Structures are given as structure tokens and as C-alpha cells.
Amino acid sequence: MLKSVIYISTSSQPISKGVLNEILKSSRKNNSDLNVTGLLLYFDSTFIQALEGPEESIDIIFSNIKKDKRHKNVTVIHEEPITMRDFSNWSMGFKELNKEDEHLGFASLEEIESIIKKGDGLGTKAILSTFYHTNVASNRYVETT
């Protein structure tokens, strides 16, 4: 059975581009090894990540995520069994959102932050899915930072 988990967390300290690259490199390797796909957004010291794949793989990866000292307040905002993946082409898509991204083509940064920080699981899932489908054709946001 496939499972999807979306969580938010807060960085424990300022996160440099180098640390983000380390996170992405290890995430992509681990996800690929365990047949997991997903997306990571980072903004204003907040991580938002969607993971999808075999239930046992998601449980392994999420257990490691909760132990990672680079962030705190790990909160699951949406979890469900799925039959299809939303992020099938990305072992781990990534985008660091900032003021230059004032409008991402489907929502403003302010709207995205509001929905995510409220913990609206379905709204967050819709934003992440839209972000993926808006960017997958161009293969954007799959490289390192």
C-alpha cells in the first residue's frame, strides 16, 4: 500500500545553502533507495515536506526525519493511504521560497504561508500538488539549491 505524509517543521538554527544541499543530497539518495518521491519547500525557517511511497518506506524515512536535530516541532498536517503518487517524477523536488517568489503562478507567497502555517492539510496538499504540476514539465526545482 502507498502512503502520503505531509509535515511542517521549524529549523533549529539558520540554514545555509550548504546545509540545504546536504539535506537534499541525502534525501534524494534515501528516497531513491526506498522508492519514495516527494517535495520540500523551505521559507522563513519553515520546512514543508510531502513524502509518498510504500507505507513501510515512509515510516522508516519519517522516523529518521523526526530524529533530525536540524529542525524541531515536526508536525504531521496530512497523512493518508494513496493509490497514485502526486510527485512521481521527483525523488525530492525542492524550492526555497523567498520574496522574489511573490507569485508562483497559482498563489502568492503570503497565501501559501498562511495555508501551510495554519496546518490546513488538504489546502497544503493542493498547493504542493499544484506546485509540482506547474513545474514538472520544465524540470525546475529538482536540482540542488
Structure confidence at residue 57 as a pLDDT band (50, 70, 90): very high
> Is residue 32's pLDDT more than 80?
yes
Average pLDDT, the chain: 81
For residue 73, what are the contacts with CB-CB under 8 A and spacing of at least 6?
A: 8, 9, 10
- Residue 32 located in a structural domain: yes
Question: For residue 87, what is the domain's CATH number?
Answer: 3.30.70.100
- Residue 142 located in a structural domain: no
- Residue 67 located in a structural domain: yes
CB 93 within 8 A of CB 18: no
| φ and ψ of 16, to 5 deg | -85, 165
- Residue 143 located in a structural domain: no
- Mean pLDDT score, 37-55: 89
> Is residue 130's pLDDT more than 60?
yes
C-alpha cell at 65: 526525519
- Residue 45 located in a structural domain: yes
CB 94 within 8 A of CB 102: no
Q: What is the pLDDT of residues 1-21, one digit of tens each?
A: 999 999 989 899 888 888 888
Radius of gyration of the chain measured on its C-alpha atoms: 14
pLDDT at position 144, please?
38
- Residue 144 located in a structural domain: no
- Residue 145 located in a structural domain: no
* Residue with more model confidence, 101 or 134: 134
pTM: 0.81
Q: Structural domain of residue 24, as residue ranges?
A: 2-135
- Mean pLDDT score, 23-46: 89
Overall number of domains in the chain: 1
